[in-house]
Amino acid sequence: MLRGVAVVILSAWAPLAAAQETKPLSAIDWLSQSVQAPRPAPAAPAIKRPKKIVEPPVSADATAPRVTVTTLDAPSPDPIGLLPSDVTGLPRSLWANSDSATLVQLIGAADATGLPALQSLMMTLLLAEADPPLGAGPDGIVFLARIDKLLDLGALDPALALLDQVDPTAPDLFRRWFDVSLLTGAEDGACDVMLSTPSVAPTFPARIFCLARGGDWPAAALTLNTHRVLGDITPEEEALLSRFLDPELFEDEPPLPQPARISPLVFRMHEANGEALPTRGLPNAFAHADLRNTTGWKGQLEAAERLAKIGAISENVLHGVYMARTPAASGGVWNRAKAVQKFDAAILAADPDEAVKRLPAAWAAMQSVKLEVPFAKFYASALATLTGAGELGDVLAELRDNPLPGSIIVYPQALPDAPQEAR
């Protein structure tokens, strides 16, 4: 009865994907070209051999015949997941009777934008442990498709957790790990692997970046100058890398024009050069760069709202950003943070009358940016004892009847413990 259950579930998103007028860049479009596919070995020259003489087989000596040894294929990474069946409620045979190529197409086309219930289901499917599909091989095309969909959604933490389960030195896997590390500010570990593993085959801009990050400035400069002369680096890459290595030489120069194609590597170097690119208009994954403490609180709030709306971060992270500081201005995101903080203070003070008083404003603030579901997940249990009539009663009922379960993924966060004045 459960045959092809993955195909059936993923097919539900096909009409939604077809209805989208504009689609964001897929992960394959914006991933850094940080690694190159290994070049095929040149074909051996043809050797003219003498005409074979047919005669009865004989043995010239008593030595053992030559034996050819071939390693077995590595196991497929397709079954790897973060959530076992007893957590997801899905069978281990979720993918087992589905064709690998079909699954890759369906995962890539799936789009649950604006539908929190489908977003939750999609995240569960992408993170589920399951038996490998039909045609699964060591290349793990379904595993890579799941990683790419997580990157498209902006769910970098679970994507990184999945990548941690496999050997990241395979070029296709390293390419993704390197970019996630760049966007989360953890590129040093990826650079160490890149510089110590020749099989990763880094591109020259990536190698120069990592040499500089590792403190080997002379080697980075020598690599840049060498490959500039050889024509291996484009003029745009040369300009960006030159500023990255010697920012003092370009202090009086105007900023570089925004590149037509922004990869995480390009984004990170622009930021290091003091010419940070805005994340608005970029794929969702880039918004994670604004969650770091190097970004102003307003930028963190906008990024957290954007990512929470699509289910890329948990309600706990969103709440932590809302509570990080005290709003010093009014309007827009400041008013939303203020409304949530006042409601949260009433909940913490165990003051039901004040909580009931503050709830309508907080709920209206969340409705204005379609964040009702994360808000309900975080506060539904705390509101179990509150009562109200009329419009207030409708809000309470909607909060308690929230159909989505609490988050099953806990995302790391590094936020101030106490509110501070916004700067």
Q: Does pLDDT of 419 surpass 60?
A: no
Report helix, strand or coil for 52.
coil
Mean pLDDT of the chain: 80
**What's the average model confidence in pLDDT over 108-116?**
82
- pLDDT-derived band at 57 (thresholds 50, 70, 90) equals low
Candidates 192, 81, 75; CA nearest to 138 is 75
**For residue range 190-221, what is the model confidence (pLDDT) as tens digits?**
999 988 887 787 789 999 999 999 999 999 99
Quick one: average pLDDT of 110-139?
87
* Over residues 67-88, mean pLDDT: 75
Q: Which residue do the tokens 């689609």 mark?
A: 23
Residues 265, 312, 79, 14, Cα dihedral to 10°: -100
Written as one letter, the residue type at 44 is A
More confidently predicted of 33 and 62? 33
Q: Do the Cβ atoms of 202 and 194 come closer than 8 Å?
A: yes
Is the Cβ–Cβ distance between 365 and 301 less than 8 Å?
A: no
Greater pLDDT, 214 or 61: 214
Report the greatest alpha carbon distance in the chain: 104
Predicted model pTM: 0.77
Average pLDDT rounded to a whole number, residues 106-131:
87
Exposed, middle or buried, 284 (CB in 10 Å: 0-12/13-18/19+)?
buried
Secondary structure, 3-state, 318-366: HHHHHCCCECCCCCCHHHHHHHHHHHHHHHHCCCHHHHHHHHHHHHHHH
**88-92, 217-221, 251-255, 412-416: range with lowest mean pLDDT:** 412-416
Query: Which residues are bridge partners to 309 per DSSP?
Result: none
79/66: higher pLDDT: 79
Residue pair 200/188 in contact (Cβ under 8 Å)? The answer is no
pLDDT in tens, 272-288: 998 999 998 889 999 99
CA distance 119 to 115: 6
Q: How far is CA 17 from CA 11, 108, 140, 154, in A?
A: 10, 9, 24, 17
pLDDT at 58: 56
* pLDDT-based confidence at residue 2 (cuts at 50, 70, 90): very low
Rounded Cα gap, residues 151 and 160, in angstroms: 10
Query: What distance in Å separates the CA atoms of residue 387 and residue 318, rounded to the nearest whole number?
Result: 26
The answer, yes or no, to whether residue 420 has pLDDT greater than 90, is: no
- Single out the residue of 405, 420, 423, 414 nearest to residue 341, CA to CA: 420
Using CA atoms, how far residue 51 sits from 46, 47, 94, in Å, is 15, 12, 57
Confidence of residue 377 (pLDDT cuts 50, 70, 90): confident
As beta bridge partners, residue 35 has 202
Give 30-50 pLDDT, tens digit per residue.
777 666 544 444 444 444 444
Q: Using pLDDT thresholds of 50, 70 and 90, give the confidence band for residue 242.
A: very high
Q: Which two tokens stand for residue 142?
A: 């379904």
Distance in angstroms (rounded) separating the CA atoms of residues 353 and 355: 5
Q: How many CB atoms lie within 10 A of CB 239?
A: 15
Which residues make beta-bridge pairs with 421?
326
Percent of the chain with pLDDT over 90: 39
Q: Is the pLDDT of residue 316 over 90?
A: yes
Determine the pLDDT at residue 415: 36
Judge residue 390's burial from the number of C-beta atoms within 10 Å of its C-beta, 0-12 exposed, 13-18 middle, 19 or more buried.
exposed
Residue with tokens 């596919």: 37
Cα–Cα distance, 81 to 162 (Å, whole number)? 7
| Most confidently predicted of 22-26, 101-105, 395-399 | 101-105
The percentage of the chain sitting over the pLDDT mark of 70, rounded to a whole number, equals 75
CA gap 214, 22 in Å, rounded? 40
How much is the average pLDDT of 242-268? 90
Task: Answer yes or no: is pLDDT of 10 > 90.
Answer: no
pLDDT over 50 (residue 83): yes
What phi, psi does 277 have (nearest 5°)?
-90, 140
Average pLDDT value for residue range 128-137: 90
Cα dihedral sign, 46-48-51-54: negative
Residues 205/237, Cβ–Cβ less than 8 Å: yes
Q: Per-residue pLDDT tens for 156-202?
A: 999 999 998 888 788 888 889 999 999 888 889 899 998 888 778 77
Going by the DSSP 8-state scheme, the letter that residue 243 receives in this structure is H
